[in-house]
Amino acid sequence: MPHQDGAGTIDEVGEGVDAGRVGQRVWVWLAAYRRLTGTAQELALVPAELAEPLPDDVSFKVGADLGVPFLTAHRALTVVEGGPTRLVPGVLAGRSVLVAGGAGAVGNAAIQLARWAGAQVITTVSGAEKGELARAGGAHHVVDYRRQDVATEVRRIVPEGVSTVVEVSPTQNAAIDAPVLAPHATVAIYANNGGDEASLPIRPLMTVNARIQYVLLYTMPEVANRCRCRCERRTACRCHPRRRGRRPAAAPLPAG
Ligand SMILES: NC(=O)c1ccc[n+]([C@@H]2O[C@H](COP(=O)([O-])OP(=O)(O)OC[C@H]3O[C@@H](n4cnc5c(N)ncnc54)[C@H](OP(=O)(O)O)[C@@H]3O)[C@@H](O)[C@H]2O)c1
């Protein structure tokens, strides 16, 4: 996500941070959350915990793509009843995942992570070009939600139903999701694309003991902890907009 995510090399470290990290390649995430500036500039200042080591054989471009989309997708795939809380290869073997909108940033990240973790991945898209993006991300099955009956197609592919739906548009898809859920499945809702309210078919959801789980990266406890301003206890803190008593000005972009 622009301004939140990025990648680069550590130039300097602050007090209390391992000086050995200078020169380290890193990817950073949520750089602009609760701070005045982010990554849309040459130099970014972030808490050390938000700068993750980036292996030498992974490009800065890949590193800059990780942040918000992949962390959101990881969360959506790990809030499932009885499922793993951390994705590694093989942990989703035997499970099926339906990703709504597999050509989107978060949707495509969910496809890649689910596939990497061993799940069977079905996704929906709105056309052929987006279908190619979803396939490139690793989707086993792509359904065109504008032209096909998604629930029928998903049931045909996975008669037993899916264990997880990664949902971008609950307003538009609630009636599609309910009939494709396996027992104890989770619908992980991370966005409100297409509308702010959804009508849930209660009986079908209740019958399979479904879970409707909301996902917002910024307020996940572990994220909130890492993003906390390190100078909160200092009276002169100017990091947090609310402490400044006014909205922050936009961070300047580098010239040229
Ligand atoms: N909860 C969080 O922590 C979190 C984190 C990041 C982003 N978000 C939110 O998530 C949303 C998506 O972000 P993004 O960066 O992935 O955006 P994006 O790259 O624009 O992707 C959005 C995708 O949603 C798809 N879509 C929309 N309506 C759909 C429907 N009815 N069925 C299936 N797919 C549908 C679109 O596909 P088509 O164009 O083919 O319709 C598009 O591929 C945004 O609202 C963003 O604010 C939330």
pLDDT at 211: 97
Atom of ligand 1 nearest to the CA of 107: 16
pLDDT at 225: 66
List CB contacts of 92: < 8 A, sequence separation 6 or more: 77, 83, 84, 114, 117, 118, 119
SS3 184: strand
List CB contacts of 2: < 8 A, sequence separation 6 or more: 39, 40
User: 69-218 architecture in CATH?
Assistant: 3-Layer(aba) Sandwich (3.40)
Per-residue pLDDT of the chain (256 residues; tens, 9 = 90+): 889 999 999 999 999 999 999 999 999 999 999 888 899 999 999 999 999 999 999 999 999 999 999 999 999 999 999 999 999 999 999 999 999 999 999 999 999 999 999 999 999 999 999 999 999 999 999 999 999 999 999 999 999 999 999 999 999 999 999 999 999 999 999 999 999 999 999 999 999 999 999 999 998 877 766 666 555 444 444 444 444 444 443 443 333 3
Q: Which residues on neighbouring strands pair with residue 186, listed in sequence order?
A: 164, 211
pLDDT at 241: 45
Q: Is the CB of 202 under 6 A from ligand 1?
A: no
Spatial distance between the Cα atoms of 256 and 244, rounded to a whole number of angstroms: 30
Rounded distance from Cα 13 to ligand 1 centre (Å) = 35
Q: How far apart are the first and last CA of the chain?
A: 22
**Range list for CATH 3.40.50.720 in the chain:** 69-218
pTM for the complete prediction?
A: 0.90
Atom of ligand 1 nearest to the CA of 1: 15
- Nearest Cα residue to atom 21 of ligand 1: 104
- Nearest Cα residue to atom 24 of ligand 1: 101
Torsion of CA 134, 136, 141, 146, to 10 degrees: 30
The b-or-e profile of 130-142 (16+ CB within 10 A means b, else e) is: bbebbbebbbbbb
Is the backbone of residue 23 left (phi > 0), alpha (psi -120 to 50) or beta? left
Yes or no: say if 95 and 115 are a contact pair by the CB < 8 Å rule.
Answer: no
